[in-house]
Amino acid sequence: MSWQRLHIAMIIQAYLPLLGGAERQLAALAPLLEEHGVDVSVITRRYAGLKKFELIEGVPVYRLPAPGPKPVASLAFSLGALSLLQRLRPDVIHAHELLSPTTTAVAAKRRFGTPVVAKVLRGGVLGDLAKLERKPFGRQRMQTFKQQVDSFIVISQEIDAELAAWGVAPEKRVFIPNGVDTERFAPAPPPEKERLRQELGLGEGETAVYVGRLVPEKCVDQLIGLWPQVREIYSRAQLLVLGTGPEEGRLTQLAGEGIHFLGNVADVAPYLQAADLFILPSATEGLSNAMLEALASGLPVIATRVGGAPDIITHQKSGWLVAPNQPDEWLEAILTLFTLVDRRHYLGWRGRQKVVAAYGLAATAAKLVGLYGRVITPTTQPLPEMVSR
């Protein structure tokens, strides 16, 4: 017996080739969802130099205009998306972020009756709920979301607590964390690690790596500021910065010896396998995909105690947690782990164990498919677990 495939419309602020955690996570999940009988369409904003429509690895990507100042841009995007959704008629709309994506999805539900799931991308002072509250009529919008969104996807305990404080019912809060491909991101044996270091031109110095956007809330400037103190103890220590963003120009001017900006790297796995430490100094986070990839690669992680990091990392057991905006605390952690090689290896091993057990990409895809089935009326669509290709 052949079951009807599901069609999910993903609404997201940006998508490939633009790189960010949400974009990379969706791109990684799309082929796995397809294997479960779920067809994905992506609806996003059109940025300069990008096509109105293209297929990216088999996924149709619709880029809609969003001109003018933010309020006008959001309205233009939402109107364009509503017209497109009327034509696509997906089974479920999956909004990524509680701003214009969820606003658009809820408007579509009211018009077409399409079920909506909304993923909250980030918690904390710069998170989705905090931003929404600062917007005009933000509290009213959230009250509407509480009524109209069928399920909120939460990726951290921090976000779950924030939704609970807003009065979102427990049955509407579904924990589906970001996932990572634990086969692609895996530790390299010592000979392979040495080969990678030579191939990447890393030399013999102690090596830390940061992967992510270069934006103020990532606090990379504070990390750069303490690097001269690291090099007072470890003269060949180097910091690799992988990623781009609006802060790049300022950060490169701040950087001294031993700091290398590598831009957008298509495949970060070799760098994670070759490095000695991964550092995530963010002031606010959701659940960092880069951190998950580092943990899966067996790389010991130093991360600030924000977002989903405390859900995964047990301090000094599966990683090292530090306070945000406290570079002196970060310095102590870096120097300690550069010194204690066995401790580095232990933390990397335990961190990978945790990710393999609970944050695999395949498990994330399966949980999403199950959620889509639960928000679709059973009389009109079989449960996704029954879908076959």
Percent of the chain with pLDDT over 70: 96
pTM comes to 0.88
Q: Which comes out higher in pLDDT, residue 44 or 20?
A: 44
From residue 16, how far is each of 46, 151, 210 by CA, in Å? 11, 26, 21
Residue-averaged pLDDT of the chain:
92
Q: Which of 379, 381, 311, 370 is nearest to 151 (CA)?
A: 370
Give me the mean pLDDT over the 331-357 stretch: 96
Is the alpha carbon torsion for 243, 247, 250, 251 positive or negative?
A: negative
As beta bridge partners, residue 322 has 304
Q: What is the pLDDT of residues 207-225, one digit of tens each?
A: 999 999 999 999 999 999 9
CB count in 10 Å sphere of residue 58 = 10
- Whether 115 has a pLDDT exceeding 80, the answer reads yes
As beta bridge partners, residue 321 has 303
- Whether 2 has a pLDDT exceeding 50, the answer reads no
Q: By the 8 A CB rule, do 318 and 157 touch?
A: no
- Whether 141 has a pLDDT exceeding 50, the answer reads yes
The residue type of 133 is E
Q: Are strands 238-242 and 207-211 parallel, antiparallel or unpaired?
A: parallel
Dist CA 304 CA 125 (whole Å): 14
Helix or strand or coil: residue 114? coil
CATH class of 190-358: alpha beta
Domain-wise residue ranges, the chain: 6-179+361-386, 190-358
Q: Which pLDDT score is estimated for 377?
A: 64
Choices 3.40.50.850, 3.40.50.2000, 3.40.50.300, 3.30.300.30: CATH for 6-179+361-386: 3.40.50.2000
Q: Is 235 exposed, middle or buried (0-12, 13-18, 19+ CB in 10 A)?
A: exposed
Give me the mean pLDDT over the 320-334 stretch: 96
Q: Which pLDDT score is estimated for 27?
A: 94
For residue 300, what are its two tokens? 């010991």
For residue 302, what are its two tokens? 């130093």
- Whether 137 has a pLDDT exceeding 90, the answer reads no
Q: Which pLDDT score is estimated for 266?
A: 85
Q: What is the pLDDT of residues 142-181, one digit of tens each?
A: 999 999 999 999 999 999 999 999 999 999 999 999 999 9
**Residue with structure tokens 């399920």?**
151
Dist CA 202 CA 204 (whole Å): 7
The residue type of 97 is E
- Whether 136 has a pLDDT exceeding 90, the answer reads no
Least confident range of 122-131, 193-202, 277-286, 335-344: 122-131
- Whether 383 has a pLDDT exceeding 50, the answer reads no
Q: By the 8 A CB rule, do 242 and 211 touch?
A: yes
Phi-psi region of 247 (alpha: psi -120 to 50; beta: other; left: phi over 0): alpha
For residue 23, what are its two tokens? 């974009």
Using 50, 70 and 90 to split pLDDT, how confident is the model at 1? very low
Q: How many residues does the chain have?
A: 389
Q: Which pLDDT score is estimated for 42?
A: 97
Q: What is the pLDDT of residues 75-107, one digit of tens each?
A: 999 999 999 999 999 999 999 999 999 999 999
In angstroms, how far is CA 32 from the centroid of its own chain? 17
Give me the mean pLDDT over the 60-64 stretch: 97
Q: Which pLDDT score is estimated for 297?
A: 97
As beta bridge partners, residue 92 has 8
The residue type of 342 is D
Q: Which pLDDT score is estimated for 71?
A: 83
